[in-house]
Amino acid sequence: MTAQKTYWLEHAWLGAHVEPGVALGVSADGRIAEVRTGADAPPPGAEVLRGLTVPGLANAHSHAFHRALRSTVQVGSGTFWTWREVMYGVAQNLTPDSYFALARAVYAEMALAGITNVGEFHYVHHAPGGTPYADPNAMGEALIEAAAAAGIRITLLDTAYLAAGFGEAPNPHQLRFSDGTAEAWAERVSALKPREHALIGAAVHSVRAVPAGQLATVAAWARQRQAPLHVHLSEQTAENDACLAAHGRTPTQLLADHGVLGPGTTGVHNTHLTDEDIALLGGTTTGTCMCPTTERDLADGIGPAGRLQRAGSPLSLGSDSHAVIDLLEEARAMELNERLRSRTRGHWTANALLTAATAGGHASLGRPDAGRLEPGALADFTTIALDTVRTAGPLPRLGAETAVFAASAADVRHTVVGGRHVVRDGAHTLVGDVAGALSEAIAAVRG
C-alpha cells in the first residue's frame, strides 16, 4: 500500500498514549498506508494538522430527525412519554426530500464535531398513514444520500417497528413506521444495497414494538448477512414492567430467548437491568451503546456501563436525540455520571473513553477497520485544537485527558474521511452554511 498523500500530525493519540510529530501516509484507496513517529517537522508537501489528532469519532446511535426537537422540548416538564408525542409531530411532517435536507445538515453538524461515521436508527419508512412510497426505501435512501452529501459514513440501521406495545396495533402516528410483519420488513430492507460510504444493518426498535414471535426473523436477517443489529433495551422502567406482565421475563431475557443477543448485537441505553440481565449481555458479548446526554435529557436514568463492560459488553457512544451533538461530551458524561452515582472518581481512563468514542463505536457499526491510527485502517480522523480557552494550558502529553474532560465539539478543527478533508479549519468543505441549512430544514418539518 503506497502512500499518495501525507498528513503531519502535531500530536496524535495512538490508542494508549499521545505521540508528538507523526507523519501519516494515506493511500489512494482512502486507507492509512503508514504511521511514522519521530517526525519533528512536517515532511515536504505534507498537510499540517496542529493540535491533537484522534481517529474519527463514531456516533453509534442517531435519530437524525430528532435534531428538530432541540430546545423546543425544553419548555415545561414531563416524561419520556410526553416527549414522544412531540417527536411524533415532527415525524409526521417528514418526506424523502425534507428528510434528505434535514439529515444532510445534521450529518454536516456531526462532521464539524469530528464524527466520521453515524449509526442511523431509522424507522420512518412510509408515508403518513403507512402507504409505501413508490420506492419503498425512499426514506432510507434519502439518509444514505444525505451522509454522502455531508461527507461522512453511515450504517443505516433499518428498524423493525411493528406494534405500539405488547399486543397493541400501531397507533396512527406509528403506521408510517410499520411494515406489518417482520417478514415484510425483511423483504423491504433486503432491497437496500451497501456502497462505499454506507453499510446496511438492522434494528429491533424495542421489545414493545416487535412482537416476540417475530424477533427471530429480524435477528436471522442480520446474522445471515453478518450485519450489525441494534435494539433499544430497557430505557424505561415502564417497558420492563410491561414486558414482565406480558412474558414473565425482562426485555433482556426475552431477547436472549429469541436469539437476538450476541457479538453482532448492540443494546442501546441498557439502563434498567437486573444482575441476570447484565450477566446475559456480557456473557454473549452483546455491546452497550450509552447515550448520556439523551438519557439525562429525558430523565431516563444512569445505566450500569461499568458493570456491563466488566461483564464483557463492549462500550460505544451515541448522541441519540441530538440534544447536543458532541461525542466528547458523551464520553465525559459517561464517566461523570458514574462518579455521581458511586461518589468515587476514575472509573474509566481518558484512553478508555476515547476508545469507546472511536474504535468501540465503529466496531458496533460494522466497521472494525476504522477507529485506529494504524496501517490498513480507514483514513478517518479528526483534529482537536489544544490552544482554545477550553484546552490551553495542559501539557500536550495529556491530550487525551484534555480532549475528554475539557474540550467540546467547538474545538474540532479538522475532520478527514477516507483521506479527504471534510472539515478544514473549522469550516465544512461540502456544506457552506451548516447553521443556515439546519435552520431551513428544521423550519420545513416543524409543522
Q: List the catalytic residues.
A: 269, 320
- The vertex-316 CA angle with 215 and 111, nearest 5°, equals 110
Q: Residue 423 forms beta bridges with which residues?
A: 415, 428
Alpha helices, DSSP H, located in 158-273: 182-189, 212-225, 237-247, 251-257
- The vertex-165 CA angle with 164 and 171, nearest 5°, equals 20
| Phi-psi domain of 420 (left: phi exceeds 0; alpha: psi -120 through 50; beta: other) | beta
Classified as helix, coil or strand, 37 is coil
Contact between 263 and 238 (Cβ < 8 Å): no
Closest CA to 27 of 420, 422, 425, 421: 420
Classified as helix, coil or strand, 20 is strand
Q: What is the DSSP letter of 343?
A: S
The residue length of the chain stands at 447
> What are the angstrom distances between the C-alpha of 162 and each of 124, 183, 222?
12, 11, 17
Tally of helices (H runs) and strands (E runs) in the chain: 15, 16
Alpha helices, DSSP H, located in 13-150: 80-92, 96-112, 138-150
Contact between 312 and 283 (Cβ < 8 Å): yes
